[in-house]
Amino acid sequence: MTTALNAGIDDQLITMNRKLIGLDVDGTLVDHYGHMSPAIREAGAAVVGAGHEVVVATGRSLGATLPVVELLGVDQGYAVCSNGGVVVQIHAGANGGYTVIDRRSFDPAPALRALRHRLPNAKYALEDIEGNFLSTERFQDASFGVEARGVSFGELLEAEAVRLVVFSTDSTAEEFGEAVESIGLHGVTYSVGWTAWLDIAAHGVTKASGLEHVRSLLGIERADTVCIGDGRNDIEMLQWAGRGVAMGQAPDEVKAAADEVAAPVEEDGAAAILRSLL
């Protein structure tokens, strides 16, 4: 009787203190070589076991997100992919392991035309509404999760996109950012990465919008959300979170958006933050 009562109290405490934890992948959960350390795996498994809702929130597309979800031990829950363009419910062992519950698409043609005029030598790729990747100039990246199919620029203009990626090999990240700013993109949400890399999503779609969708489904208060990230595409997420944590190697503007700064990814900064929630 006492054991059952204590178990009920423990379950109630878990429910009362349950957090929604939004976790960026590259530069947060994995290093710049794509490796997840034992410390991150252990801390991730611990917060999942404690009853918190761990949600991977990444610029990666679905196919490149699912292996990270598995490494963290999340077999029931949610993931935010393609910078908020795709939200999935995870149910390992059934229906392929996930169900897409939200997908936000847009017409990439205006952005593509403007970008090509300003950045004629850049490479372009997009994720369509069926999860396929189409690309110019044999453009391939691990974040796509699938092999991109080479197409003409004209075919890209005709597609419906969930995620548009632009990569320039003849510009620095700063020069690329200035070029993108000068274009004045309208009707889309975009962020410039560490290199001359641009991710574009539908207007108003960010990791934060995807996490807000999940939060509303779970009924968790905004004050009980914790997010960790290191990139410019994490800024909205860190500002949205009740507790936003920037990684130690993050750019200054990302740190400015956060409530606190963790140690760098090389020192497993995210693991320390996760352990603080136990």
Would residue 8 count as lying in a domain? no
Secondary structure in 3-state letters for the chain: CHHHHHHHHHHHHHHHCCCEEEECCECCCECCCCCCCHHHHHHHHHHHHCCCEEEEECCCCHHHHHHHHHHCCCCEEEEEEHHHCEEEEEECCCHHHEEEEEECCECCHHHHHHHHHHCCCCEEEEEECCCCEEECCCCCCHHHCCCCEECCHHHHHHCCEEEEEEECCCCCHHHHHHHHHHHCCCCEEEEECCCCEEEEEECCCCHHHHHHHHHHHHCCCHHHEEEEECCHHHHHHHHHCCEEEECCCCCHHHHHHCCEECCCHHHCHHHHHHHCCC
Would residue 7 count as lying in a domain? no
Shared domain for 95 and 210, answered yes or no, is yes
Shared domain for 115 and 184, answered yes or no, is yes
Shared domain for 228 and 185, answered yes or no, is no
The last residue of one of the domains, among 202, 235, 258, is: 202
The last residue of one of the domains, among 151, 183, 202, is: 202
Q: Which domain holds residue 185?
A: 109-202
Shared domain for 92 and 65, answered yes or no, is yes
Shared domain for 80 and 117, answered yes or no, is no
Domain count for the chain: 2
Shared domain for 84 and 217, answered yes or no, is yes
Would residue 266 count as lying in a domain? yes
pLDDT tens for each residue of the chain, 278 residues long:
444 434 443 444 445 589 999 999 999 999 988 999 999 999 999 999 999 999 999 999 999 999 999 999 999 999 999 999 999 999 976 556 899 999 999 999 998 998 888 888 889 999 999 999 999 978 888 889 999 999 999 999 999 999 999 888 777 777 777 777 777 776 667 677 666 788 889 999 999 999 999 999 999 999 999 999 999 899 999 999 999 999 999 999 999 999 999 999 999 999 999 999 99
